[in-house]
Amino acid sequence: MSLKFPFVQRDSMPRLVSQELVVALTPLGKAKADSFSGEGPKFDILSTLNEGGPCSISELAQETNMSAVKVRHILKELVRSGYAKRVGESG
């Protein structure tokens, strides 16, 4: 059981970002990517999505040389911030 949701088991909660999920930048995310200069994992993911369009987590992990776990964590932040959105599932 989760502390945040005491009556719902964590396994039954929908995942925000799955391995096969395809994500893309929102208009806000595109503006951020265009104006964002720097280095680091968040910049790498924003740049990859900005240049290549919608990608799955496994594609982003391969393109950025990050683990899928790290990519998923960063994407959760980007989705919550309104910079990225779910656009479908690959496969």
Residue 40 has pLDDT above 80, yes or no: yes
Q: Which residues of 19-44 are buried (b: 16+ CB within 10 A; e: fewer)?
A: eebbbbbbeebbebbeeeeeeeebeb
Of residues 39 and 50, more confidently modeled = 50
The CATH architecture annotation of domain 17-89 reads Orthogonal Bundle (1.10)
CB 83 within 8 A of CB 29: yes
55-56: strand order across its sheet: 55-56, 21-25, 84-89
* Residue 1 pLDDT greater than 70, yes or no: no
Q: Which of 88, 48, 53 is nearest to 71 (CA)?
A: 48
Domain boundaries, the chain: 17-89
Q: What is the pTM of this model?
A: 0.71
Reported confidence tier of residue 11, pLDDT bands at 50, 70, 90? very low
Output the pLDDT for position 69. Answer: 94
